[in-house]
Amino acid sequence: MALSDRDRAILDFERTWWAQTGPKEDAIRSQFGLSSTRYYQLLGVLMDAPEAEAYDPLVVRRLRRGRNLRRRARFEGRSAGGRPAR
């Protein structure tokens, strides 16, 4: 799958969204015209695309680490930011 202009824009947005003012969901809606749910669906598909990793490996790997951390936390029954139970 070749990356579309929107795919590249999403990856670019993920690289810099934290520097913008206001909630991320508002920026997603204004920049892409998408609900945050649809945006994250598209982002999830992009994270698994080799072309996305070739385009911006740092962003894609960071997103994958976050996703894996959240999955592991759900599996272990704790919050993603919390420390493991002793």
Q: Is 82 or 61 the better-scoring residue by pLDDT?
A: 61
Tens-place pLDDT, residues 33-60: 999 999 999 999 999 999 999 999 999 9
Instruction: Record the tokens describing residue 77, joined without a space.
Output: 């029954």
Give me 22's structure tokens.
């206001």
The proportion of the chain whose per-residue pLDDT surpasses 70, expressed as a percent, equals 88
Specify if 69 maps to a domain: yes
The number of domains in the chain is 1
Query: If you count DSSP H runs as helices and E runs as strands, how many of each does the chain have, helices first?
Result: 5, 0
Q: Report residue 4's pLDDT band, with 50, 70 and 90 as the boundaries.
A: very high
What's residue 63's pLDDT? 96
78/43: higher pLDDT: 43
Query: Pick the residue with more confidence: 78 or 57?
Result: 57
The domain of 48 spans: 5-13+23-76
Residue 86, in any domain of the structure: no
